[in-house]
Amino acid sequence: MTLQSHTVLTEVRSEDSVDPAVRLAAMVGSTVIHLPGDSGYDEARTLWNTAVDLRPAAVAEPTTAAEVSAVVTASSQLGYQVAPVSTGHNAGPLVQHDLASTVLVKLDAMNGIEINPLTAMARVQGGALWGDVTEAAGRHGLACLHGSSPDVGVGGYLLGGGIFLYARRLGMATSGLTAVEIVLADGELIRADHTQHQSLFWALRGGGGNFGIVTAFEFSLYPLETVHAGMMVWDIDDADRVLRAWAEWAPTAPHEITTSMRILNLPDAPGIPESVAGRPVVCMDGAVLADKKRARRVLAPLRELSPRTDTFAQVPPSSITRLHMDPEGPTPVTGDTALLGRLTDEAIDAFLSQVGAGTEHSLHSAELRQLGGALARKHPDGGALSRMDGSFLLFGAAIADTPENEARGKKDANDLVRAMSPWSTGRQYLNFAEEPVDVGDNYGAREWLTLTRVKSAYDPENVFAANHPVPPA
């Protein structure tokens, strides 16, 4: 539904009985607004994770920063909260808000990408996808700190931290941000960077979508024409010896390498490699930021574990967005997560008791992602989240295509995290938290206090409804 004239706005405002959502559509000019009952509403409210059933008061689909500003201003005047999303990979926690009084702002139409090869910088709009950014950067021999799938949105990933297969060497993706353009609660579009609106810029790097709607990001790129990357696969019966050896190797491994060790149970379906399809397997994927000779030395301890499949080779960085084999396109998923310290023999026992050989569970992936290296150190110019409190990231995920499968998948993921709780640091990586959590528990006391103060300064009326909310102080 689109409004078309200021005359309609005057008429709508004169009728107190008119639904505020209809008034919203009248106040935002040419921006497409979907209201409950409209033919396009159900499609518009459906995000990447189709297991998340959001029913907001309206869905706005702006195409410019000016339209974002108009939507925020009108929504605020009408007493609505605003929830920005790009793809909705981590939209589940939005259910904690009063969505009947919330406008969902989808940024996927704002997906422009500019690459400056001379400065090795990117400027991308708030709805851009990592697959498109990696392709654009790769044409200039550059790489970015992207997510684990080409259809992960740049926005939520960066605002929540951002870690994947370059992280132990280059750190969190959000620390590479140099500037953002953001619409504030009063509708003003500003630029925040290291010299202006510094406290806001600090909060945005790890504090999520609590402070405004970012319409553009600027961040550093890296001169990488090729990367030594791939995966190794073992039979599920090898899980015990492989996981124990990997868990001992991982904490002191060279920082050039970042890996992820998973128990996979994927269907035999198109697009899934034969080496991992149709049966449970142990799969480790990773990347080494080094030349071929050095990469071979770094990978030697893992190759000594005799994988039956080994695809590590020099590849273009753009290919790594699909290395993790995450599902692309709208997918119903559920899961649970935790940050872990050292993986002892007892911890491996607990992990395998849930997902090892002979166990029955519905998880299509039970992941232990290697942390440490640059992720263990606070970035000197970083923001609210510039390091990870743990040595490993645990994540269990299941397909939730029916209510029964969702319930079982959620239980199995919860059981996995519960079994590993003795080795948990007590924190989570919020980009992986699929349900509402106590957000403050996942920051240091000083960082949390500062985040709430920045929220008070820039959004005192709590206009913005984030999936992991920071309240005003």
Both tokens of residue 349? Answer: 């026992």
Both tokens of residue 76? Answer: 């605020």
Residue labelled with tokens 């890296």: 222
pLDDT at 19: 78
Element of type H or E holding 456: helix 445-458
Q: Measured between alpha carbons, how far is residue 355 from residues 175, 238, 279, 327, 421 in Å?
A: 34, 13, 13, 20, 15
Q: Note the pTM of the prediction, 2 decimals.
A: 0.93
Residue 2 has pLDDT above 80, yes or no: no
Cβ atoms of 248 and 200 within 8 Å: the answer is no
Segment 263-274 shows an average pLDDT of 93
Taking all residues of the chain, what is their mean pLDDT, rounded to a whole number? 94
pLDDT at 1: 40
Distance CA 322, CA 276 (A): 14
Both tokens of residue 471? Answer: 């309240």
Both tokens of residue 395? Answer: 């994540």
Q: By three-state DSSP, how is residue 352 classified?
A: helix
Close Cβ partners of 321 (under 8 Å, ≥ 6 residues apart): 130, 131, 134, 146, 147, 148, 149, 150
Residue 6 has pLDDT above 60, yes or no: no
Both tokens of residue 377? Answer: 């150190």
Distance CA 13, CA 25 (A): 12
Strand spans (E) along 6-132: 32-34, 58-61, 81-85, 102-106, 113-116, 121-125
Q: pLDDT tens across 364-397, in order?
A: 999 999 999 999 999 999 999 999 999 999 999 9
Q: pLDDT tens across 175-233, in order?
A: 999 999 999 999 999 999 999 999 999 999 999 999 999 999 999 999 999 999 999 99
DSSP 328: P
Residue 12 has pLDDT above 50, yes or no: no
Segment 106-112 shows an average pLDDT of 96
Within 10 Å of residue 327's Cβ, how many Cβ atoms?
A: 17
DSSP 437: -
Residue 316 has pLDDT above 50, yes or no: yes
Q: pLDDT tens across 21-60, in order?
A: 788 988 988 899 999 999 999 999 999 999 999 999 999 9
Residue 15 has pLDDT above 70, yes or no: no
pLDDT at 21: 75
Percentage with pLDDT > 70 across the chain: 96
Element of type H or E holding 347: helix 345-355
Residue 464 has pLDDT above 90, yes or no: yes
Name the pLDDT band for 17 (thresholds 50, 70, 90): low
Within 10 Å of residue 293's Cβ, how many Cβ atoms?
A: 8
Burial of 347 (C-beta count, 10 Å sphere; 0-12/13-18/19+): buried
Domains of the chain: 113-223 (3.30.465.10), 227-315+331-432 (3.40.462.20)
pLDDT at 18: 63
